[in-house]
Structure 1
Amino acid sequence: MASISQRVAQETDVLVLSGTAGSAISAQTGKPKVVEVRSWMPAKGALGKRAVAELLFTVRIFFALLARLKRGDVTLTVPAPFMLPYAFAAAAKLKGAKSVLIMHDLYPDVLVMVGLLKPQSMLARAMHALNAPMFRALGAVVIIGRDTEKLLLRYRGMTRDRIRFIPNWATLAPGVRAIAPDNPYRRSFSGRFVVGLSGNLGFTHDPVIVFEAARLLRDDKDIHFLLSGWGVGFDQLKTMQAEAKLPNVTLVERVEDDQLEIFLSAADVWIIPYRKNVAGVSVPSRFYNLLAIGRPVILVSEADAEAALTVTEHDVGWVVEPGNADELAKTVSHAARSVDAQRAERAAEISRRFDFEIAMAEYCGLIRELAQKKSS
């Protein structure tokens, strides 16, 4: 959202309502203008406190929007906190503004997927009921994966002409990075085939399947697992490794952005492990950087999920059924014995389609289009 607002600010006035402490101070240039809205966010594990905090933040955002929006404005938001889009769409409608929701995650589906909500629970049904008028009130919904469209079209009044597919982008320049024996992240196990895992491991991910695949391959001296990240999933990995002490697993704490390219270049293949029923609900943005450095990807997800479609359409990796550690272990073994330089080249080339300027042109075009429409 910061990247989008900074780019759009080159063409028109932009006001950002931010819940991040210190964000107004960091916006030194004044473009875009940043207004901080007070927020309080407990740890992810404190679900009750988080719900209260998100509700309070949503209410504050709603009144901030009512105070600042003008007829004809175009507004953008994301679905986190998950109550935010409802207040956002209502405020925009009341003020005669156009609203755009960038659909990173679809609620309540994502909460059902990770087991935090029952499909027929009162809260899930209430969210589904609220989604229908909210989607109708929006001027457009931006999806970052093609698989989300069919889920949105389940809602009455939602039409294809208001759905725009604008995928996220790679932040690293496209180009195959060589496997360097002196890479600091793989120096201690140089010569082996390195399987990597990186990024936020939240409720939608399944790090256990990766660890179980490593357990199944513990006697294969030619394969090593390099696992990094943060979140509840990485805490799980640390706990499991403390007990199992697998010799073929190395854990690395969160890698900062200035070391990301070196770290991603350390592995021969990368795994993105999702739980079941991820299609249409969540899209792994880390996927694009893995392609950009010229690495094949093993994606644990349904075959019709966005990243899985890209993998199979362009032969830049493999897709594994969620929850099947045996299949994942076999796929890792196959990848280790079928290194393909052309697959790496294809991955880097495909990543050029997921370019920042291409995405920004789409966002700016959508904003201009909505700004030219008369308010209803």
Structure 2
Amino acid sequence: MIQGGVLGVIGSKLKRAKLIYNIQDFNPEQTEAVGYSKNKFILKLAKKVDCISCKSASQIILVGRDMEETLIKRLSKKNIKDVAIINNWIDEQEIFPLDQYNSNVVDFKKKYNLTNKLTIMYSGNLGLYYDLENIIKIADRFKENNQVIFAFVGDGSVKDKLVSYAEGNGLDNVVFIPYQDKADLNYSLNAADVHWVINAKGIKGVSVPSKLYGVMAAGKSVLGVLEHGSEARRIIEEANCGICIDPGDYEGIYEALLDIIEGRLDIKATGILGRRFLEANLKKEQSIERYKEKILQV
């Protein structure tokens, strides 16, 4: 957040302290990517302000390797003092694979009519940065297959449009589920067979979808709609925990769904590989230790 950077700079000056700037998303680049604002003056001013925060920091911590490329574009290498890449995390002791016969998972499936169906789930913010208004149209091509269901769990600015499209086109293969309490999140994630991890075109280097870590922790296969070189896509490809398609390639997404539905992608095996990779490389404690290390170095 730009405001957070500004407050950090002010605080560091008042306290004569060093500033560590943890950037979760780059703005205004995120706003620009989805065309949410086209006011060039405001966007340019906002970027300039945030660049001052970046230059003022003794250390910058980013959550993806692709974000470092964005930082270099902004400032050039000579103006960057110290940068660390530390991935976000999920608590892998709270989110973990459950047997399909687990009573809570079975109850969740019954409640939302997912029983005995291949469930393709999107779980999280139904917002502007995920191209969901176009993604849902692909579900239309599978509405005659009563063995497949598309579940959208969560809420957000485009939910009403998604519901309207599903109802207007008779998509009985689409279900909307409210946000789940933290205590029930593991059952919700485990109720799916495959999870979407999506960023709209232009978000590479700007933001990393943290939902990926929960999907991997639950041992579920990933259907990624992500740009080449983006942090989430790199992790999926390194872990071999799913399949990735470029944003905007709707025919490619349809073909990937066919591969999943017709069994050409081993979703159980790829899910296991995701959990294994997370345990080896992306545990909560590993990231926290890296934060401790970097903070103590400043």
Shorter-chain TM-score above 0.5: yes
1:233 is the counterpart of 2:161: no
Native 8 Å contact 2:220 2:268 kept in 1: no
SS in 2 for 1:201: coil
Partners of 1:341 and 1:286 lie apart in 2 by: 19
Match of 1:92 in 2: 12
1:253 is the counterpart of 2:253: no
Q: Which amino acid is 2:192 matched to?
A: A
1:315 is the counterpart of 2:236: no
Change (3 A) 1:195 1:92: same
Change (3 A) 1:299 1:358: same
1:357 is the counterpart of 2:262: no
SS in 2 for 1:329: helix
| Greater relative CO, 1 or 2 (CA 8 Å, sep 6+) | 2
Native 8 Å contact 1:213 1:329 kept in 2: yes
Give the drift of 1:290. Answer: 0.5
Match of 1:169 in 2: 89
Partners of 2:251 and 2:185 lie apart in 1 by: 30
1:293 is the counterpart of 2:218: yes
Change (3 A) 1:265 1:143: same
Native 8 Å contact 1:144 1:167 kept in 2: yes
SS in 1 for 2:204: coil
TM, length-normalised to structure 2: 0.90
Give the drift of 1:335. Answer: 1.5
SS in 1 for 2:22: strand
Native 8 Å contact 2:193 2:267 kept in 1: no
Match of 2:273 in 1: 346
Match of 2:58 in 1: 139
Native 8 Å contact 2:96 2:186 kept in 1: no
- Unaligned segments of structure 1, at least 5 residues: 1-78, 371-376
Partners of 2:212 and 2:85 lie apart in 1 by: 17
Partners of 2:135 and 2:116 lie apart in 1 by: 21
Native 8 Å contact 2:117 2:148 kept in 1: yes
SS in 1 for 2:150: strand
* Larger helix proportion of the pair: 2
CA displacement 1:277-312 (0-9 Å, x = unmatched): 111111111110100111011111202111101111
Change (3 A) 1:340 1:270: closer
* Structure label with greater radius of gyration: 1
Partners of 1:292 and 1:231 lie apart in 2 by: 24
Q: Which amino acid is 1:237 matched to?
A: L
Partners of 1:209 and 1:185 lie apart in 2 by: 27
Partners of 2:138 and 2:22 lie apart in 1 by: 35
Match of 2:109 in 1: 186
Alignment: residue pair count? 288
Give the drift of 1:162. Answer: 1.0
Give the drift of 1:217. Answer: 1.2
Match of 1:109 in 2: 29
Native 8 Å contact 2:92 2:283 kept in 1: no
TM, length-normalised to structure 1: 0.72
Native 8 Å contact 2:34 2:202 kept in 1: no
CA displacement 1:150-171 (0-9 Å, x = unmatched): 1101214433x51111111122
Cα RMSD (Å): 1.9
Moved over 4 A (4+): none
Match of 2:208 in 1: 283
